[in-house]
């Protein structure tokens, strides 16, 4: 990892902190925060990789948004499960702007694995709220993919 990658990771952490803290305080994340994360990812890609990198970053975010929206809609209509909210989808899509297409796929795989592990753990503990903290899971998955890529 070079210096630019460390700067990018630090910026990403600073942008993710308000989202995670607002979620812990049971207040929803504002769309402006998700937009700021996405713009930060596209801007950082433009700074480090030029216009082509910015285009690829924006494409990663849009593809992630479309894929997750379609997947959640299909799951919701078939099994009547509401696994993710619109805020979670927007957070993951905004995070994909910081990653390449491969990194975005890795982020989604890590988020899916962490989500199911957390759900199994909460169910085994018979927690009062068996739904995992998806905002924290998305932030962890995004940072993990950022550091692995």
Q: What is the DSSP letter of 26?
A: T
Instruction: Tell me the mean pLDDT in the region 22-38.
Output: 86
> CB-based contacts of 18: which residues, under 8 Å, 6+ apart?
29, 33
pLDDT at 132 over 80: no
More confident residue, 131 or 148: 148
Residue pointed to by tokens 């998955």: 141
Q: What is the distance between the alpha carbons of residues 57 and 88, in angstroms, rounded to a whole number?
A: 19
pLDDT at position 136 is 87
> Mean of the pLDDT values across residues 34-49?
96
146 vs 97: which has the higher pLDDT: 97
Cα 17 to Cα 66: distance, rounded to the nearest angstrom: 25
Cα 147–Cα 148–Cα 149 angle in degrees, nearest 5 = 95
Per-domain boundaries in the chain: 3-148
**Mean pLDDT, range 40-46, rounded to an integer:** 96
The pTM score is 0.88
């Amino acid at each position: 990892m070079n210096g630019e990658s460390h700067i990018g990771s630090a910026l990403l952490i600073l942008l993710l902190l308000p989202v995670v803290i607002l979620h812990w305080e049971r207040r929803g994340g504002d769309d402006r925060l998700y937009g700021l994360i996405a713009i930060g990812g596209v801007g950082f890609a433009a700074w480090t990789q030029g216009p082509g990198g910015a285009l690829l970053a924006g494409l990663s975010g849009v593809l992630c948004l479309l894929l997750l929206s379609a997947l959640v809609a299909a799951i919701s209509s078939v099994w009547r499960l509401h696994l993710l909210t619109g805020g979670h989808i927007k957070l993951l899509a905004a995070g994909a702007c910081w990653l390449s297409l491969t990194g975005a796929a890795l982020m989604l795989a890590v988020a899916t694995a962490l989500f199911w592990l957390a759900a199994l753990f909460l169910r085994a503990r018979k927690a009062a709220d068996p739904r995992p903290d998806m905002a924290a899971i998305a932030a962890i998955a995004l940072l993990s993919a950022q550091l692995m890529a």
